[in-house]
Chains A and B, each alone.
Chain A
Amino acid sequence: MGYKSRLVKKILIHSTLFTLSILIAIPFIWMISTSFKNIEEVLSLPPTWIPKRWVFRNYLDAVRFVPLGRFFLNSVVVSSITVISQLTVCSMSAYAFSILKFKGRDILFFILLSTMAIPGEITLIPTFLLIRNIGWMNTYQGIVAPSLVSVFGIFLLRQFFMGIPKELEEAGRIDGITDFGLLIKIILPLSKPALATLSLFAFLDSWNSYMWPLIVTNRIEMRLVQVGLRYFINDELGNNWGGLMAISTLIIIPTLIVFLLSQRYFIEGIKTSGIRG
């Protein structure tokens, strides 16, 4: 290919990608733009892309009228417990499945792995009945209990641990280190990328989770952000599209920031599992 045709090709690709990314970004742009308009401008035609007068009232109202602060607190608590628990539980079992040697290890791992194919809907009703029977409805422990472990996480960490050179492990053993010491002092510090990937997915899954928190909570003060937003749409929306877009922006921003900071791990995670996200 000559220089000229290569240039034409480049320009063609750039303009196609540019147009498509605008199309993909329009909902975000429209959401943010609406969130800064006053009600008259929101309800006027033709729509304006850039607010004529920037107002912050929608954000202030959202925090004041919807107990959005409480919903955020709930979601932060639930996401933090989920991430910490998955990191702990998954790295312990991944250690057993990759570094320890015991009878039936690979069969047990295979059985555990095959549970990844089981859809969440099948476990929904029994898990709900269990949580209800032990009186954990409307509690943080009830919301987080089913996501304290992730089989995907065990798989991801095991793959990574198996790639760590045996010599490091043996050197530790000679110094008389215990298994817990080996995991905490040698294996985990070397596994930061895998731990980052797991944290990212645990956070996203937990922050965006919907059906389970919807089912195990019925008190307003225990709602997570997603469920809280849904009730706002159903019960209080009216014509307050500016308010709705402000709340949506506030809910989406944390995940977008986390994503932009950790894009590399995000891509690794999707490649490993194929379906997450």
Chain B
Amino acid sequence: MKRAITPILFLFPAVSLVMIFIVYPIFYSFYLSLHSWDMISPNRIFVGFKNYAKLIRDRMFINALKNTLIFTIYTVPTQIILALGLAILLNQKLKGISIYRAIFFSPVVTSIVAISAVWMWIYHPSLGLINYFFRILGINPVNWLGDPKTALLSVSIMSIWRGLGRTVVIFLAGLQEIPKEMQESAQIEGASNWQIFKYITWKLLSPTTFFILVVSTINAMQVFTQIHVMTQGGPAGATEVIVYNLYYRGFQLFQMGYASAIAYVLFAFIISLTLMQKYMLNRWVFY
């Protein structure tokens, strides 16, 4: 008797919280996405899939999709290349390596809002640090966050700076799993550093690289905080991204049904990326 009730007691808090705050919202937001509702009026109007149909023709949403894609292209590959290089350097046995590691990892734990404030100051058109260096080098100063042409790039640079350390940690973990003997025996047989990297390190690291690629793409698709702080989607919609659009529709215009449809589109993108990753990893294990 006692044994049967014990698991229920131990699981009750976690399972009920997950039911209330994850499982129920998944279904409820789909239900909402089929309705038109301004949060104030007592009745929701059932509209079927009209919200989704409207999204395809919504200029603002298409622009947000496009900007999210550009942000992803700016940040993900750059971050992977920089992080891999750094991880290889940090994987050496050298004096003081732990100090370097601490410095590279530290941006990851910092508040995005505070760091956005610091970068707004660095990007300042007349007093900013970057334009100061540009003037020394004889380059025309740039209105980083104020110019539609450079705003998204500026947000991306700051995001790479903050996220780099996390990617380095995962690469370092992957590098440490590669048996040292393989690299050493290749070295004895006269392989160059580049050959060792290309044929051994890069090959054996490919599951890690793929994992990072998927996870950072998912993260990039969810970017919000730095944009809400630094640009509010501007100038001229140049930094409007999917989640910002969701926030704007849901919590500024209170179009709860429409915002839920945006959330579901994002959900579909992210789930398909996750499933693709699972499928590819399984294949790697089988071959």
* A interface residues with partner B (beta carbon < 8 Å): 10, 13-14, 16-18, 20-21, 24-28, 30-31, 34, 42-43, 45-47, 88-90, 92-93, 95-96, 100, 102, 105, 108, 112, 115, 117-130, 145-146, 148-149, 151, 154, 179, 204, 207-208, 210-211, 214-215, 225-227, 229-230, 233, 241, 244-245, 247-248, 251-252, 255-256, 258-260, 263, 266-267, 270-271, 274-275, 277
Contacts and interface: CB of A to CB of B under 8 A. Distances in A.
Nearest to A26: B129
A118 B215 contact: no
A21 B107 CA distance: 11
Contacts of B4: 102
Interface stretch (B6-14, B45-53, B197-205): B6-14
B41 to A, nearest CB: 14
Q: Is the interface of A mostly helix, strand, loop or mixed?
A: helix
A62 B42 CA distance: 44
25 contacts: A21-B100, A24-B104, A24-B107, A27-B118, A31-B118, A34-B121, A43-B127, A47-B129, A47-B132, A96-B6, A102-B4, A122-B29, A125-B25, A125-B250, A126-B24, A126-B29, A130-B20, A149-B18, A208-B109, A210-B228, A215-B251, A226-B114, A244-B117, A247-B117, A270-B166
Interface in B76-101: 86, 89-90, 92, 94, 96-97, 100-101
B150 interface: no
A10 B22 CA distance: 51
Q: Is the interface of B mostly helix, strand, loop or mixed?
A: helix
Given A24-B161, A27-B161, A16 B89 contact: yes
B127 A251 contact: no
Contacts, number: 242
Contacts of A230: 113, 228-229
- 6 closest residue pairs by CB, A with B: A126-B25, A123-B25, A93-B14, A248-B114, A96-B10, A126-B28
Nearest to A274: B215
Contact of A266 (B100, B105, B170, B270): B105
Interface in B1-57: 4, 6-7, 10-11, 13-15, 17-18, 20-26, 28-29, 32, 39
A245 B111 contact: no
B9 to A, nearest CB: 8
Contacts of B118: 27-28, 30-31, 245, 248
Contacts of B10: 92-93, 95-96, 100, 179
A89 B14 contact: yes
B264 A122 contact: yes
Interface string B114-125: 111111111010
B134 interface: no
A179 B6 contact: yes
Given A125-B32, A208-B111, A271 B173 contact: yes
A112 B215 contact: no
A129 B28 CA distance: 10
A211 B105 contact: no
B209 interface: no
Given A47-B132, A118-B267, A21 B26 contact: no
Given A18-B100, A245-B118, 18 more contacts: A24-B107, A26-B129, A28-B106, A95-B10, A100-B10, A117-B270, A119-B267, A123-B21, A124-B25, A125-B259, A146-B21, A204-B109, A211-B228, A251-B114, A252-B111, A271-B170, A274-B170, A275-B215
B222 interface: yes
A89 B13 contact: yes
Contacts of A42: 127
